[in-house]
Amino acid sequence: MHIKVIKPGLATSVQDAGRNGYYHLGIPPSGALDQYSFRAANLLLGNAETAAVLECTLLGPQLQFSTACQIAICGAAMQPRINGQPQAVHQVLSIAAGDTLDFLPAAAGMRAYLAVSGGIDLPAVLDSRSTYALGGLGGYQGRCLQAGDILPLVAAPPTTAPVGRTLPAALQATLPRKAEVRVLPGLYAHRLCAESAARFYQDQWRVSSESDRIGYRLKGGAPLQFQPREAPFGAGADPSNIVDAGYPIGSIQVPSGKEPIILLRDAVSGGGYAMIGTVISADLDMVGQLQPNQGIMFTAVDMQQALQARQHYQAGLQQLRQALLDG
């Protein structure tokens, strides 16, 4: 029971809930950038919520299945085709042995999640099957898929969701073309000049083509000015340098004050650039669904608002579980 990769797509990789608990050792969590859609695909199919899936980025792969199974695709509007015939996303689909699956380019969103009944059966590394390509860890040989790869499948569970089962529209992830993202200012926001600190939240930024799972680089806003200072021992001469510190996932650094970078789930765990704020966890899925050249603006929030947003996000996940596990 396996899937053969005919064409790998742009940056298709095996992902799951992530490799949590090792960031302090320099190993990032990795895992699906859009955790909600990843979990929705598994739950829709009747899989364990955290079963390994394929994360398909903008241009999906072409795959051939050796065995009959069921699949579900959630996240980006990347229309699937079985043997060339268009199919729906957010729906349980039937695959016959020998069938070929491919995708049209994403019409909205950046990442679609392909769940297969039972899940993808690769060895767990540090408690996760997620690919960390920068470190060559996990997933399929620690890298994105290539033509000719063979992905083994877990034996399908005895009961699966019925073909045609559909994720209600109210439970599908939204895919805005312009995102308003909430940021908790700090840890080094005080290093910015007051005018630049205010301007950062007023400007319309756009996602650059250099963005990936490590970080989203942004362009289009005014360069940021840092407070003059004498560089402390251990920090570089660039005004955006600090003495090395840990990087939270979602933190925003601005090397030389020019192009902000939002660090994502494959980011290094620390370094010497000042973090002027951190995208709150509730908005990270949305960031991972932004395509190059799409717009993004930031809104400053306080800790209480960030915690309330996280609580709302968790409530949405619980609503998803109740709808699909009880339905």
* Domains in the chain with CATH codes: 2-172 (no CATH), 178-311 (2.40.100.10)
The pLDDT score that the predictor gives to residue 60 is 97
The pLDDT score that the predictor gives to residue 186 is 85
Tokens 């980006």 belong to 76
The pLDDT score that the predictor gives to residue 233 is 75
pLDDT tens for each residue of the chain, 327 residues long: 899 999 999 999 999 999 999 999 999 999 999 999 999 999 999 999 999 999 999 999 999 999 999 999 999 999 999 999 999 999 999 999 999 999 999 999 999 999 999 899 999 999 999 999 999 999 999 999 999 999 999 886 666 789 999 999 999 999 988 999 999 998 899 999 999 999 999 999 999 999 999 999 999 999 999 988 887 777 788 888 998 999 999 999 999 888 999 999 999 999 999 999 999 999 999 999 999 999 999 999 999 999 999 999 999 999 999 999 876
Alpha-carbon distance values, 90 to 37, 142, 157, 167, 311 (Å): 9, 28, 20, 5, 25
pTM: 0.95
- The amino acid occupying position 144 is C
The pLDDT score that the predictor gives to residue 257 is 86
Q: What's the DSSP call for residue 117?
A: T
Q: Who contacts 202 (Cβ-Cβ below 8 Å, separation ≥6)?
A: none
The pLDDT score that the predictor gives to residue 184 is 97
Q: Are strands 178-185 and 295-300 parallel, antiparallel or unpaired?
A: parallel
Alpha-carbon distance values, 206 to 27, 122, 287 (Å): 29, 36, 11
Residue 263: beta bridge partners? 215
Q: Is 32 strand, coil or helix?
A: coil
Ranges of beta strands (E only) in 66-187 are 69-75, 80-82, 85-86, 92-95, 100-103, 111-116, 150-152, 178-185
Q: Which two tokens stand for residue 126?
A: 């540090």
The pLDDT score that the predictor gives to residue 232 is 78
The pLDDT score that the predictor gives to residue 159 is 64
Residue 124: beta bridge partners? none
Alpha-carbon distance values, 252 to 45, 106, 201, 212, 255 (Å): 36, 27, 12, 15, 10
Q: Is 188 strand, coil or helix?
A: coil
Rounded CA gap, 164 and 204, in Å?
A: 41
Rounded CA gap, 146 and 123, in Å?
A: 18
